[in-house]
Amino acid sequence: MNPEIRGLSSMATRPVLADLSERFRPADGLPVRFEAGGGVEVARRVREGAEADLLVLADGAVTALAEEGYLLADTVRPLWISQVVAAVPEGAPVPALGSALELRSVLEAAGGIAYSTGPSGTALIELIGRLGLTGALAGRLVQAPPGVPAGSLLSSGRADLAFQQHSELMDLPGVVVAGPLPGDAAISSTFSGAVLASAARPDRAREVLDFLGSEAACEVARARGMRPAGT
């Protein structure tokens, strides 16, 4: 097997990292390959000694892993910010989400509401609580399994409304993005990168991380529904 720079990431950043891995050209020619999974599962793998050089996950997970000594603390850097959006099945009426009142009405009218594991799903449940809808929606919430896009539950008929990171929903067949959540209801996640303390090629991993934070990489992230951290 040819040597390579190995990365682990969440599903939300998979499309961005797939594009960027093709564009990165290290001086020594080593290819870059990222393996994506559910954020909770990826963090567990890191704690269990997964063989990888680089990690891109939600900022909170990266911070925790760095504090536990699994990542090189001086390499931790925020990369991109992604908004949670609502989506409906293709062919269904696209709901208006211009205000908190409209969002509340959309939630109350939904027969099944799909959401993901990880920070975005947790934030959605907290939002539903702040809207006072926890009891009313309890029987209609459907959590997608780790690593499975919440939008896939729309095409399968298990839900008629889904919430997830824009990058995970924008290219799914049979899914139409309705838009981000309005005003104070908006949910966003910051994704950060870092080099693993156990990296076989820490210097090369740092080079990849620098590239992921470059303006060229940020342009790719924008095309995939994210924006650079700090903007």
Each residue's pLDDT tens digit, 156-196 = 899 999 999 898 888 889 999 999 999 999 999 899 999 99
Residues 32 and 59 occupy one common structural domain? yes
Percent of the chain with pLDDT over 70: 97
| Position 38 confidence tier, pLDDT thresholds 50, 70, 90 | confident
Q: What is the CATH number of the domain that holds 109?
A: 3.40.190.10
> For the chain, what is the largest distance between any 2 Cα atoms, rounded to a whole number of angstroms?
58
pLDDT at 1: 44
pLDDT at 212: 94
Q: Which residues contact 47 (CB under 8 A, 6 or more apart)?
A: 65, 68, 70
Per-residue pLDDT tens digits for 5-18: 999 999 889 989 99
pLDDT at 81: 94
| Domain span holding position 70 | 5-81+190-228
Residues 90 and 167 occupy one common structural domain? yes
Residues 89 and 154 occupy one common structural domain? yes
Per-residue pLDDT tens digits for 104-158: 999 999 999 999 887 888 999 999 999 999 999 999 999 998 878 899 999 889 9
CB 6 within 8 A of CB 53: yes
Which candidate, 194, 191, 207, 202, places its Cα nearest to that of 79? 191
Residues 155 and 124 occupy one common structural domain? yes
Residues 90 and 136 occupy one common structural domain? yes
Residues 195 and 214 occupy one common structural domain? yes
Q: How many domains does the chain have?
A: 2
Residues 75 and 92 occupy one common structural domain? no
Residues 181 and 120 occupy one common structural domain? yes
Residues 160 and 122 occupy one common structural domain? yes
- pTM comes to 0.84
Residues 177 and 156 occupy one common structural domain? yes
- Note every long-range contact of 130-133, with CB atoms under 8 Å and residues 24 or more positions apart, other chains counting: 131/100, 131/103, 131/104, 131/107, 131/185, 133/104, 133/107, 133/108
Residues 59 and 138 occupy one common structural domain? no
| Position 72 confidence tier, pLDDT thresholds 50, 70, 90 | very high
pLDDT at 26: 65
Residues 217 and 154 occupy one common structural domain? no
pLDDT at 161: 97
Q: Which residues pair with 34 in a beta bridge?
A: 7
Over residues 201-224, the mean pLDDT reads 92
| Position 230 confidence tier, pLDDT thresholds 50, 70, 90 | confident
